[in-house]
Amino acid sequence: MRTLTFPVAASRARPRHRSRAALLAFPLLPLLPLLAGCGDTGGLVAAGATPTASGPVHLWPSHRGASVPPADPGGAPPEYVRGLAPVTNQNVHEVDPVALVRAELAAHPNTEVGPDGMPPETVAAIKGCGKAGQSPGTCPVLAPYYRDLTGNGRDELVVGIELPDRMMSVRAYTADPDGRLNRIMATTQTVVAVDLAGRDVVLRVPSGHPGYELITAWSWDEKQRTMLPTREQIVRLPGRAQGPAPSAPPTPSAEAAP
């Protein structure tokens, strides 16, 4: 009897234990793909078809183009301002802009065209700057601005001189280690505005097309040791196009009224 009871009980208990494990493991089988998907870190996804890039087409390849002469290895010679005392430690903040412009007028007298050109009435007004009897705000030499334009870690001097007909002479100066002032920019334009952007002097002038401006950026050229117009762009002025004025609605007559 003892040998019959224990084997029967054991044979019944073992299948129950295996069935519970099988029942517990069965519901996990459908979750295996989901759990595997949680470890996906993503990958490249197609964005669709893209247009084919087309390179530039060289027109008239048989045409013989113009040759550009090589640049002078020595660069442009410095144009020092004569008749002005040297500055210390290349500090252009010491320079009086009115005295600077007067020194240039004395070095280039009776000059009305070119970088030093100036009409006689402007010359007379500059000579009277700061003197008694001159009305405030009538001196053509504007307040100076300072900015490192050459990248040497020191400020350069930017001077503006107002001329008739809304024209302006914009000039820039740097100081060499000996304290001498070197003029690195001089241009006369009908100026809309002058900006300093980074190390560039940007001039906005009217273009030949109504509603557009010509923007010219002057940048320091290390080879030529001067400021050159490096970028030009014609931009459209923001504004809303003027359309025809809307006509007034017709007044309803008494016969048409309900």
Distance CA 127, CA 121 (A): 10
Average pLDDT, the chain: 81
Q: Using one digit for the tens of pLDDT, what is the confidence trace for 147-182? A: 999 999 999 999 999 999 999 999 999 999 999 999
Q: Using one digit for the tens of pLDDT, what is the confidence trace for 62-113? A: 998 888 887 666 677 889 999 999 999 999 999 999 999 999 999 999 999 9
CATH architecture of 92-236: Beta Barrel (2.40)
Q: What pLDDT shows up at residue 11?
A: 43
The residue extents of the domains of the chain are 92-236
Does pTM surpass 0.75? no
CB 170 within 8 A of CB 142: no
More confident residue, 135 or 245: 135
Buried b (16+ CB within 10 A) or exposed e, 138-149: ebbbeebbebeb
- Chain-centre distance of CA 112, in angstroms? 34
Q: What pLDDT shows up at residue 243?
A: 44
